[in-house]
A and B are shown apart, each in its own frame.
Chain A
């Protein structure tokens, strides 16, 4: 709290011989002191406020579908707005569109590169975007004609100078947001391939991004190998907030459903929650027994649960408010590389280096 700052500093007046420089120095000292005080008095922790909240009951979360078909590590997946279709991409260059409900494969594309680390479903459900070691993000319009080669109508949209790590459509099929190993994020016009805005500020590879829920404005968050999570204004390209509390690469970032906060998963084996208005970390999700990195995180619909896919093949489910782990899910036989909640929150999907995807509910 402000008022317990050193009273000498607070009562000091302009002494004789002090000049503008001295006053500036004084204000700098005050600033540092203030930061120290703020750090000391963390006000209150999230789990303290949540003490009065009812605990969660027992969970029955099981694998409801297993999607087999990829020939190699699954690296990324995304849901269609219809709540049942998904797109997934893998190390061997294959991108598959599934109806996860029936487990039928509906479309397949072979990319000209390996390690397709990013894929996204268009809001209309009529196209997918993907990319990876080709340093590009391409959009493939989907067709019902089984004989049609989807690669023929492919549109090259984004061009980076290093691998594509993540991509996401904005509120329409016409714009794509990308992040790359070249340290930047960028916003592109799909039709023309024009670069609309670029976002510079990360000091190393950017590994992930997430768009803020539309009611909360035009921002997105990105995480990188520089251990930073940055919040960006899409209009100006400016980094408006930056958080650096992780001790290693940030593999995944995801907004809390209200847009007031976001979670991150990192190679430091922790997940963290950052509140945007408080401008600080407000929770850490960690356990001594969890020593492998978290690769991918997502919230349940109410934000109460945080699902984390980890490099030790497990999925840990956290009580976001109380900070405790409520469940651990086994099933994958290799790293969990990607994880996302379905659009209506009825299930989440995990993809793994064991070549499969699983739907959990």
Chain B
């Protein structure tokens, strides 16, 4: 469905495509003619100088600018050179070029997958051994290594394509091979080749911009591997597949498992700590994990990042009535110049956020929140897992033995209504007595018997 909604020729998103269409107009476009190349004749070849001249006339620009524009079209892969094919530039002379078929235009619809590249290289290998260039051979070896589990599939695809290729007429085959080769030079440039595909650092999508309706599809193979991997990783943690330690409360009527895994227990279980290592999301969504992470950030003096993230969550999911007020509070605390808990986000995001705060809505902090989340995920999280805070928690974690005895009585538990009341009271007490280490307070609530320390100055 998404392919139908985002056509190849998406002129609005890719204005260069409009240029390409015009250039190929039979009456007003660039003149083309068949060219003899080695033993075959390539249809519709154009010269570099014709391209540059056409651009200069069409857009009333100087030759140099036309040359630059022409080079961009080659760098993006819309036009490809027939000679000196590894240099993606337009030469304003009789050098020969061709328009790339729309099928091979830089597509937004899907990322250029390594799988496709592996198939392409494998196919060339089948065609003629030793034909791969050095950098291609290196890539091939590297792909073979990390895609080993699906190499059968890749070879099968390569053979299929090779066979299909042999069924074509020779001139068609030559043309297609040229086009395909050109495509890969753009998307996997040989060393020293500049293609336009490099885009530098990851950019944040402006949340106020229009939604992109065209979905980038990922190869099914990759996706199902991800699903399988997740399931296998979590296998031991699934109470239906591996025993709960010490026992499943529903089976033995013994609630030790629940007591050991309460939200803010002082010492977590080994299994629980292991889950924090699966992903940053797992760590954050477990209150005990988040507390541990918070402690680590405090020692690094970057606690404001997590606090900001939590404030954003509070804004998103909170009552509509207090939203404005909350947004302003967040701004004062984290974003304003000289704010007490100033967070470090890039200029563009800050600009977008501040602008949005003039008319706040519940998602106004999305861009900033995503930025901070990614920062924590890509940087702090990794360091946390190597930190003394985490290692200490890991060392102290409990690994209860399995037992099968049944409890005599099914004990009732404290009502969530009472728990909430207690939390409220504790928070009120905290507010009046000054800053207290939060893990200490929470552990007290979970009845693990720690005394609340005297308030710090």
Q: What is the interface of chain A, defined by CB distance below 8 A to chain B?
A: 1-5, 7-20, 23-24, 26-28, 30-31, 34-35, 42-46, 49-50, 53, 56, 59, 61, 64-65, 80-85, 99, 101-102, 104, 106, 124-126, 142-144, 170-172, 174-175, 189-192, 194, 196, 213-216, 218, 233, 235-236, 238, 240-242, 256-258, 260-261, 275, 277-280, 282, 300-305, 320-321, 344-347, 359, 361
- Which residues of A lie under 8 Å from residue B308 when comparing CB positions? none
A237 to chain B, nearest CB (A): 10
Check B103 against A49 for contact (C-beta < 8 Å).
no
Closest B residue to A197 using CB positions: B362
Interface pair B172/A7, CB less than 8 Å apart: yes
Check A8–B172 contact: CB distance below 8 A: yes
CB proximity of B370 to chain A, nearest CB, Å: 9
Cβ–Cβ contact B221 & A44, under 8 A: yes
Question: Known pairs A278-B218, A346-B248. 9 more at Cβ < 8 A?
Answer: A3-B120, A7-B176, A23-B24, A23-B102, A196-B320, A304-B235, A305-B241, A320-B231, A321-B231
A213→B285 CA distance, assembly (Å): 10
Q: Can you spell out 29 A-B residue pairs with CB atoms less than 8 angstroms apart?
A: A1-B116, A7-B173, A9-B103, A13-B44, A14-B26, A30-B103, A35-B3, A44-B221, A49-B228, A65-B250, A84-B413, A125-B416, A126-B420, A214-B281, A215-B282, A215-B284, A238-B213, A256-B227, A260-B226, A260-B230, A277-B223, A280-B220, A282-B224, A301-B237, A302-B234, A304-B231, A321-B231, A346-B250, A347-B239
Q: Is residue B9 contacting chain A, with contact meaning CB distance below 8 A?
A: yes
Q: Is B232's beta carbon under 8 Å from chain A? A: yes
- CB neighbours (8 Å) of A18 from chain B are 24, 26
Q: Which chain A positions have C-beta within 8 A of B390?
A: none
B interface residues, how many (CB within 8 angstroms): 100
Chain B min CB distance to A38 (Å): 8
A8 CB contacts on chain B under 8 angstroms = 172
B83 to chain A, nearest CB (A): 19
- Residues in A neighbouring B215, C-beta threshold 8 A: 240-241, 279
* B interface: dominant SS: helix
B101 in contact with A238 (CB, 8 Å): no
Question: Which among B3, B213, B244, B285 is the interface contact of A346 at CB below 8 angstroms?
Answer: B244
Contact B172 A15 (CB under 8 A): no
A101 with B4, Cβ < 8 A, contacts A23-B9, A305-B240 known:
no
Given A242-B1, A361-B239, decide whether A277 and B161 contact each other with a Cβ distance below 8 A.
Answer: no
Question: Which chain B residues lie closer than 8 Å to A189 at the CB level?
Answer: 319-321
A interface: dominant SS: loop
In the assembled complex, the CB of A14 is this many whole angstroms from the nearest CB of chain B, namely 4
- The distance from the CB of B79 to the nearest CB of chain A, in whole angstroms, is 12
Question: Contact: B416 with A282, CB < 8 Å?
Answer: no
Answer whether A215 and B279 are a contact pair too, CB < 8 Å, given A125-B419, A189-B320: yes
Q: Which A residues touch B413, using CB under 8 A?
A: 82, 84, 99, 101
Q: Determine which of A125, A279, A302 lies in contact with B420 in the assembled complex, contact meaning CB atoms within 8 Å.
A: A125
Contacts of A345 in B (CB 8 A): 237-240
- Give the docked Cα–Cα distance between A132 and B231 (Å): 36
Residue of B173, B221, B261, B317 touching A43 (CB-CB under 8 A):
B221
Which 8 A-B residue pairings sit nearest by Cβ, starting from the closest? A125-B416, A215-B281, A302-B234, A302-B238, A14-B24, A361-B250, A278-B223, A43-B220
Instruction: Tell me if A1 and B317 are in contact (CB < 8 A).
Output: no
* A189 and chain B: residue at smallest CB distance: B320
Contact of B224 among A275, A304, A346 (CB under 8 A): A275
A303 touches B164 (CB 8 A): no
B340 interfacial by beta-carbon distance below 8 Å: no
- Whether the Cβ atoms of A44 and B7 lie closer than 8 Å is no
- Residues on B with C-beta less than 8 A from A64 are 250-251
In the bound complex, CA of A10 to CA of B100 (Å): 9
The reply to whether B237 and A215 contact each other, CB–CB distance below 8 Å, is no
A30-B103, A124-B420 given as contacts; is B240 within 8 A of A282 (CB)? no
Nearest CB of B to A268, in Å: 20
Please name all residues of chain A whose beta carbon is closer than 8 Å to the beta carbon of B231 when the two chains form the complex.
53, 302-304, 320-321
B219, A43: Cβ atoms closer than 8 Å: yes
The CA of A80 and the CA of B173, in the complex, are separated in Å by: 64
Which B183-228 residues have a C-beta within 8 angstroms of A?
Answer: 207, 211, 213, 215, 217-228
* A164-B104 Cα distance, complex, nearest whole Å: 49
A216 contacts across to B, CB distance below 8 A? 281
| Residues of chain A contacted by B234 (CB below 8 angstroms) | 257, 301-304
B319-A27 in contact (CB<8A): no
CA distance A34 to B104 in the complex (A): 12
Question: A12: which of B101, B222, B255, B416 is its contact (CB, 8 Å)?
Answer: B101
Which of A23, A256, A282 has the most chain B CB within a 10 Å cutoff?
A23
Across the interface, which residues of A come within 8 angstroms of B44, CB to CB?
13-14
Inter-subunit contact B219/A46 (CB<8 Å): no
B8 is contacted by which of A20, A31, A50, A196 (Cβ under 8 Å)?
Answer: A31
Contact A194 B320 (CB under 8 A): yes
Which single residue of chain B is at the shortest CB-CB distance from A12? B101
Q: Which residue of A lies closest to B104 (CB)?
A: A10
| Residues A346 and B249 in contact, CB atoms below 8 Å apart | yes
Is the pair B240, A300 in contact by a Cβ cutoff of 8 Å? yes
Per a CB cutoff under 8 Å, which of B3, B213, B232, B317 touches A34? Answer: B3
> Are A278 and B420 CB-contacts (below 8 A) given A303-B227, A320-B231, A345-B240?
no
Given contact pairs A215-B279, A277-B223, A302-B241, A172 touches B168 in the complex (Cβ within 8 A): no
